[in-house]
Each structure stands twice: as C-alpha cells, then as structure tokens.
C-alpha cells in the first residue's frame, strides 16, 4: 500500500497522475498561477515524513551538532538571500525591503537559538545532593529537560520566513532537540520548498540526517500530522478557525499533545483624554502607520481603539483619517484573504451606528483600500456589535469613542485575549490620572502591554513575550524570544543514578559546564 502510494506520488510529481492534488505558487499581484511547486501529501506520505523525522531524533541529542546546524542553516539562508527574498516577494507581494529585513530577523533567530543551545540555561538543571539525615532521607536527585519528540510546525502566511519554514517555531524546536515536520502555508509553497531544501542541506553539512526537518503540503496533510501518534507537540500561527480545529484535534487524541497556537488578536489601544489633548495628531498618524503596515497583515495590528469624545479625540480621528486616506491600495497575501477583508469590512460598516471616516474595501482588481470604522463606545455594550470586537485581518481599525472612564471599562470587559494592549497617555505620565488604572485594566487582556508606542514590530529579546490569553494563544508560552524553546521540552529527574550513567550535563564535576541550580 505504502509503496504504491509512493509511486503515485512520484508519478504525480512528473505531472501525469490523476489522484495527487497539485500545489501551485500564485502571484497575488495578478492572481495568476506561477508554477506547480509540489503535490499535497497523502496520509501515507505524512506518515513517512513523521517516521523519518522520528528516526532522526537521536542525531539531534548532541547539542554541539544542533548549534552548528542552526548556524549553518542561517548561513545558507543568508547566502541564498537574494533568491529567498525574490521567491517570497513573488508569492506574497510583501516587497523586497520588508522581506530582506524579515530574512535578517530569521537568520538572527536561528543564530540566537544556537547560542541558547550552547549556553544550556534552557536545560534547567537542578541538582539535589542526597541528605540521609533528612526525614524522610532525601535521595540524590538530578533534573533536566529533554526534548518531547517530533514537533509539527504549521507555518504562518503573513511572515513567509520568520514564522514559516525556517522561522521561530522551527528554530526553537530544533534547538530543543526536536525534529520538525513543517506543514507549508499554501500562500508561499515555492519559498517553503526553497527554505526547506536549505535547512536539509544544512543538516547534511553538519552531519545530521536531512529528515530532522521535513516539509509537507496540503490542508488534509496538516490534520493528519497533528493526529499522528509519533507527533509529540505542535506549533501554529494562523486564524482562529484553522487553529482551533487543529487544537481540537491535538487535545482529543487518545494521547493529547501540547498545541502552542497563535490564533488571532484584536490588539486594543486606549488613548486617554490627556494623551489626545497633548498629541492627537501624532497618535493619529502613528496609528495609521501601524495599522496599514504590511497591508494590515501583522498579528499585532492595532484593530480596535478607544478614543475620547470631544475636541482632542476629534483631532485624533481627523489625523488618522487624513493619514489612512493617503494610503495606497495594497496587495494582500492571497485572493481569499482579500475577499474576506472586503466582505468583513462591509459587514462591519453595515452595522447600526457604525460610521466610516475612511471606507475600507476593494481597491483595484487585486488590492484593498485601508479604512477606519467609528462607533460609539456606549453602543458596543448593547451586544449587537460583537463583530467589531473580532479581528478583521487587513488594513482596517475600529475607533470606539468614549465619554466616560466607565464606558472604557465596560468595553474592555467585552474583549477577548490579545497579544498586545497599548496605552497612550500624557508624556508626563505622572500628570495623567487615567494611566495607572488603565494599565491595570489592560494587563489581564494581553501578553505585552505597551505605553506610548505601537504594537507592530516584535523585538527578538529575552524579555519579549509574544503570546496572550486565548485566542491570542492556546497556551501560556511565547513564540518569540529565547523562552520559546520551553514549549518543546519536559523535565526528567534521575534519582540515585550512578554518575557514569547520567547524561554529562548532570554528572558530578559538571564536565560540560552547564548552568545549574
């Protein structure tokens, strides 16, 4: 059975089979297919991919090899940078400037995780020497963390590099010692194939089996993957609907597995009276820049703003309106997203009491126009405007005008979990009486709280946290920063184990010099 399907797959790759579903690379600027890149993986092929990755896990046990592999992958991506950026731009229309920056971020991430692997803090080594005099006597116990096993990575569409095949989930899982099977995002299959081939070449160059990173295509393949008994954990970045379906599959398995999904975020912003009075124009222009950046396709796009009624708030809205009106129509990542945006903003604009200072919607045949919706904050609490509190992927934001602090509190109480929450207060924070209570109200809503800044742009740094209450993420972990590695590990304690049988990291004398507690 397996071999006949394998034959069908190989034939399909030559374009003569009937059963295999083709995977096309499409130009979002024209909607035209560019080339057939691959075929969707069958259940048998997913099984083979997972088994291949699982068989390769032993080779990843050597931390030095892992670190070398991650650095080599970064080097190969940099060396092929022009091709990678060209492929990604052709499929995503994100532009060479943004993509060149994203590639730099991606290779920096890979190298940062190589450092994490080497420094060894993530192993969380804790050693309790025996205490025979304690009641009860305490045995020798040595704990560290070990990799969970094969990780399924579901690539994001909006970051074809940094959150896709060579992105953060892949880098952190490999750093943890977990082989990855990556489900390619359908919006950039050619970029995915190119990056996967570089990852696999890096593996071979560092003496690892190339199956430490395997790529599969296809929606059904993604579902098969999360259900596979040898898959031990999953990382996902995408929509609430798709992410929740995979989360449900992960947790209803006979043996449930951790599913670290980033599903969606409204990223609320609150502008205080004092902030609006002080710098309405600056905040309006800043918001316009943040919400239209990358055609509003960032997971941290500020999609909902509480701004005061009155003169300061009016100036803010005027500045926002002016800046957004000047935005050029933009190409979204794919036709489906563009159509969903056009339909989504129309549905929202049609709600009672919703105004459109700048009407968002279709631009040209393949583009969208950014826009701003406005509504009374008081109207949101009545229940008929729930849609305004759901993420709308693309260049639109909702401005809810409030008259009182009570209205702000009531609306914040309706919000789902978020990656970020942003507060704009007076420059002299001590002069803004709303600052402290609003910061306290925003903290339970998000994983990152910003003051007088914009949430787009997620620094890769030790104190970063990219995650938040559901649906922002399905776990309490982060997908950005060094601690992202913790998602793919579990502790094991060795009790009363002879020294030479212990992993070197746990032995007396600490021969590898790993940090310990």
Token pair 């000047």 in the structure block, residue = 326
If the CB atoms of residues 25 and 478 are measured against a second copy, the closer one turns out to be 478
For residue 287, the minimal CB distance to a second copy (Å) is: 16
The residue to which tokens 């048998």 are assigned: 44
Contact track, a second copy, 134-153, x by CB under 8 A: --x-xx-xxx--x-x-----
Query: 421 forms bridges with which residues in the sheet?
Result: 449
The answer to the question of residue 258 lying near a second copy (CB under 8 A) is yes
Span from 87-95, 169-177, 386-394, 442-450 in contact with a second copy (CB under 8 A): 442-450
Interatomic CA distance for residues 20 and 489, integer angstroms:
36
Dihedral over Cα of 486, 246, 265, 456: its sign: positive
Q: 369: which 2 tokens?
A: 């126009």
- Which of 490, 504, 508, 515 contacts a second copy by CB under 8 A? 490
Which of 92, 474, 485, 514 binds a second copy (CB under 8 A)? It is 474
| Cα–Cα distance, 304 to 404 (Å, whole number) | 17
Q: How many other CB atoms are there within 10 angstroms of residue 244's CB atom?
A: 18
Catalytic: 195?
A: no
We find the least distance from the C-beta atom of residue 147 to a second copy, in angstroms, to be: 10
Report the alpha-carbon distance of residue 57 to residue 179 in Å, rounded.
6
The number of angstroms, rounded, from the C-alpha of 35 to the middle of its chain's C-alpha atoms is 27
DSSP state of 161: T
- Collapsing DSSP to helix, strand or coil, 171 comes out as helix
Span near a second copy by CB under 8 A; candidates 349-357, 372-380, 446-454, 507-515: 446-454
Are 424 and 312 a contacting pair, CB within 8 Å?
no
> Residues for the chain: how many in total?
517
Give me the catalytic one of 40, 91, 262, 391.
Answer: 262
| Pure H helices in 206-334 | 219-227, 240-251, 273-292, 311-325
Stretch of residues binding a second copy (CB under 8 A), selected from 314-322, 385-393, 394-402, 429-437: 429-437
CA dihedral 49, 51, 54, 58 (to 10 degrees): -110
Q: Which of 76, 450, 484, 514 binds a second copy (CB under 8 A)?
A: 450
172-231 binders of a second copy (CB under 8 A):
none
Q: For this structure, is 299 an active site residue? A: yes
Residue 431 as a binder of a second copy (CB under 8 A): the answer is: no
Q: Taking a C-beta distance cutoff of 8 angstroms, is the pair 102, 162 a contact?
A: yes
Question: Per-residue x/- marks for a second copy, 394-423, CB under 8 A?
Answer: ----------------------xx------
Contact (Cβ atoms closer than 8 angstroms) between residue 220 and residue 244: no
CA-CA distance, 38 to 30, in Å (whole number)? Answer: 21
Tokens matching residue 481: 């920063």
Catalytic residue among 224, 299, 392, 505: 299
Smallest distance from the beta carbon of 441 to a second copy, in angstroms? 12
Q: How many helices (H) and strands (E) does the chain have?
A: 15, 20
User: Which residue in the set 414, 492, 504, 515 belongs to the binding site for a second copy (CB under 8 A)?
Assistant: 492
Q: Does 365 bind a second copy (CB under 8 A)?
A: no
Of the listed pieces 40-48, 155-163, 403-411, 454-462, which binds a second copy according to CB under 8 A?
454-462
Specify the pairing of strand 231-237 against strand 304-308.
Answer: unpaired
Name the token pair of 395. Answer: 């260049």
Q: Can you tell me which of 469, 507, 510, 512 binds a second copy, judged by CB under 8 A?
A: 469
- Can you give the three-state secondary structure of 359-413, one letter per residue? CCEECCCCEEECEEEEEEHHHHCCCCCHHHHCCCCCCEEEEEEECCHHHHHHHHC
**Of 115, 353, 436, 515, which one interacts with a second copy (CB under 8 A)?**
436
If binding is defined by CB under 8 A, does position 435 make contact with a second copy? yes
Minimum CB–partner distance for residue 512 and a second copy (Å): 18
Q: 64 or 440: whose CB is closer to a second copy? A: 440
Per rule CB under 8 A, is residue 451 in the interface with a second copy? yes
SS3 state at 235: strand
Examine residue 457 and tell whether it contacts a second copy (CB under 8 A). Answer: yes
Q: Residue 130 Cβ, how far from a second copy at the closest point, in Å?
A: 10
Nearer to a second copy, 191 or 464 (CB): 464
Locate 306 and state its tokens: 């509480």
Q: Which one of 462, 509, 511, 513 is in contact with a second copy (CB under 8 A)?
A: 462
Of 75-83, 86-94, 315-323, 493-501, the window that binds a second copy (rule: CB under 8 A) is 493-501
- Which stretch, 83-91, 319-327, 344-352, 451-459, contacts a second copy (CB under 8 A)? 451-459
Considering only 89-97, 179-187, 234-242, 246-254, which stretch makes contact with a second copy by CB under 8 A? 246-254
Q: Which residues pair with 126 in a beta bridge?
A: 143
Q: Is 463 in the site for a second copy (CB under 8 A)?
A: yes
- The CA distance from 517 to 143, in Å, is 10
Please select the residue that binds a second copy; options are 229, 353, 413, 453, rule is CB under 8 A: 453
Phi and psi at 506, nearest 5°, equal: -110, 0
Of residues 188 and 487, the one with the C-beta less far from a second copy: 487
d(CA 331, CA 78): 26
Catalytic machinery residues = 262, 299
Residues in the site for a second copy, rule: CB under 8 A? 126-128, 136, 138-139, 141-143, 146, 148, 247-248, 251-252, 255-256, 258, 416-417, 429-430, 435-436, 439, 443, 446-453, 457, 459, 461-465, 467, 469-471, 474-476, 478, 483, 489-498, 500-501, 517
């Amino acid at each position: 059975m397996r071999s006949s399907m394998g034959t069908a797959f190989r034939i399909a790759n030559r374009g003569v089979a009937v059963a295999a579903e083709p995977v096309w690379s499409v130009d979002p600027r024209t909607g035209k297919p560019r080339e057939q890149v691959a075929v969707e993986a069958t259940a048998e092929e997913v099984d083979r991919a997972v088994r291949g990755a699982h068989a390769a896990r032993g080779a990843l046990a050597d931390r030095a090899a892992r670190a070398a592999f991650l650095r080599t992958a970064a080097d190969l991506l940099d060396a092929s940078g022009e091709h990678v950026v060209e492929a990604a731009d052709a499929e995503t229309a994100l532009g060479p400037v943004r993509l060149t920056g994203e590639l730099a971020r991606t290779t920096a991430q890979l190298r940062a995780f190589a450092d994490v692997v080497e420094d060894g803090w993530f192993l969380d080594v804790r050693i309790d020497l025996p205490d025979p005099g304690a009641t009860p006597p305490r045995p020798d116990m040595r704990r560290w963390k070990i990799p969970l096993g094969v990780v399924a990575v579901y690539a994001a569409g909006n970051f074809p590099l940094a959150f896709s095949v060579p992105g953060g989930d892949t880098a952190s899982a490999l750093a943890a010692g977990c082989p990855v099977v990556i489900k390619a995002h359908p919006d950039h299959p050619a970029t995915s194939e190119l990056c996967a081939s570089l990852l696999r070449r890096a593996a071979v160059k560092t003496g690892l089996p190339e199956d430490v990173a395997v790529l599969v295509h296809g929606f059904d393949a993604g579902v098969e993957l999360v259900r596979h008994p040898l898959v031990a954990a999953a990382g996902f970045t995408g929509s609430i609907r798709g992410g929740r379906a995979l989360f449900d599959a992960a947790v209803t398995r006979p043996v449930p597995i951790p599913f670290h999904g980033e599903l969606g975020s409204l990223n609320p912003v609150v502008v205080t009276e004092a902030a609006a009075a002080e710098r309405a124009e600056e905040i309006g222009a800043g918001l316009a820049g943040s919400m239209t950046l990358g055609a509003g396709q960032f997971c941290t796009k500020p999609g909902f703003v509480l701004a005061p009624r009155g003169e300061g708030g009016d100036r803010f809205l005027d500045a926002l309106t002016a800046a957004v009106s000047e935005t050029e129509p933009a190409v979204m990542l794919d036709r489906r997203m563009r159509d969903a945006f056009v339909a989504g903003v129309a549905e929202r604009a049609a709600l009672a009491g919703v105004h459109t200072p700048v009407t968002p919607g279709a631009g040209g045949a393949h583009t969208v126009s950014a826009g701003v919706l406005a509504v009374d904050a008081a109207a949101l609490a009545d229940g008929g405007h729930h849609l305004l509190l759901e993420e709308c992927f693309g260049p639109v934001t909702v401005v809810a005008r409030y008259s009182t602090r009570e209205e702000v509190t009531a609306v914040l109480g309706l919000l789902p979990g978020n990656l970020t929450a942003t507060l704009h207060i007076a420059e002299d924070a001590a002069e803004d009486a709303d600052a402290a209570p609003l910061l306290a109200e925003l903290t339970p809503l998000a994983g990152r709280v910003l003051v007088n800044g914009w949430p787009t742009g997620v620094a890769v740094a030790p104190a970063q946290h990219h995650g938040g209450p559901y649906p922002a993420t399905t776990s309490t972990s982060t997908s950005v920063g060094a601690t992202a590695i913790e998602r793919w590990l579990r502790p094991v304690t060795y009790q009363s184990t002879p020294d030479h049988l212990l992993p070197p990291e746990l032995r007396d004398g600490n021969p590898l010099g790993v940090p310990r507690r």
